Amino acid sequence: MDVLYPRCCGRDVHKKTVAACLIISTAGPEPVKEVRLCRTLTADLLALADWLQEARCPHVAMESTGVSWRPVYHLLEGQCELLVVHAQPIKTVPGRTTDVKDAAWLAELLRHGLRRGRFIPSKPQRQLRERTRYRSPVVQDHARPLNRLQAVVEDAHLKLASVVTAIYGVSARAMLAAILDGQRDVETLAD
């Protein structure tokens, strides 16, 4: 089988550990393989990135399991060509049960061009997505107590929403405060 990438690395990324297998093609029939294990702390990931730079490794493939791949991706972004691949085709191969074997298998697949990376948007696009995804629950959290206030007022048989534009506005809050103070005269409340 043809070798498309003579220097490449496969990484099996988990929450607490990263297994990396660097493959360098040689003149002989067998390539040189070097394996490193490290923790996912920033200093360890930077040391792993330095190791790849020293080896002049331009291609890295890693599994996209959960969100554990993201810190590794962010640290390597711009240093080399990164492929984030789906883990399922790698996990279905029988007999490959350890992280080191998974990393070596992933590197071997990448070496021959047998894995395609999934789409990872550019950094500005990722930042925009993150902000918009964060905004939705914030808006919902803001609306939830207002909806609850509306329900409580309706349960108390106060048709406040019929006489004010916004139940959380200044007039509505003044009317509710007056009701809580014991005011029952409709004309006084309307003023």
Give me the residue spans of the domains in the chain.
7-120, 124-190
Tokens in use for 92? Answer: 């279905």
Q: Which of 19-23, 46-50, 167-171 has the lowest mean pLDDT?
A: 167-171
For residue 186 the two structure tokens come to 């409709």
Q: What is the C-alpha end-to-end distance of the chain, expressed in Å?
A: 86
Q: Span 7-120: which CATH code?
A: 3.30.420.10
Q: How confident is the model at residue 92 (pLDDT cuts 50, 70, 90)?
A: low
Contact call for residues 90 and 102 (beta carbons, < 8 A): yes
- Alpha carbons 147 and 167: distance in angstroms, whole number: 9
In this structure, how many other beta carbons lie within 10 angstroms of the beta carbon of residue 111? 25
Mean pLDDT, residues 60-78 taken together: 85
pLDDT at 90 over 80: no
What integer pLDDT is reported at residue 93 of this predicted model?
A: 60
Contact of 101 with 93, CB cutoff 8 Å: no
What are the structure tokens assigned to 47, written together? 């040391």
Cβ neighbours of 100 (radius 10 Å): 15
Inter-residue contact 176 to 156 (CB < 8 Å): no
Looking at residue 30, its pLDDT comes to 86
Cα angle value 37/40/41 (rounded, 5°) = 120
- Is the pTM of the predicted complex or chain greater than 0.75? no
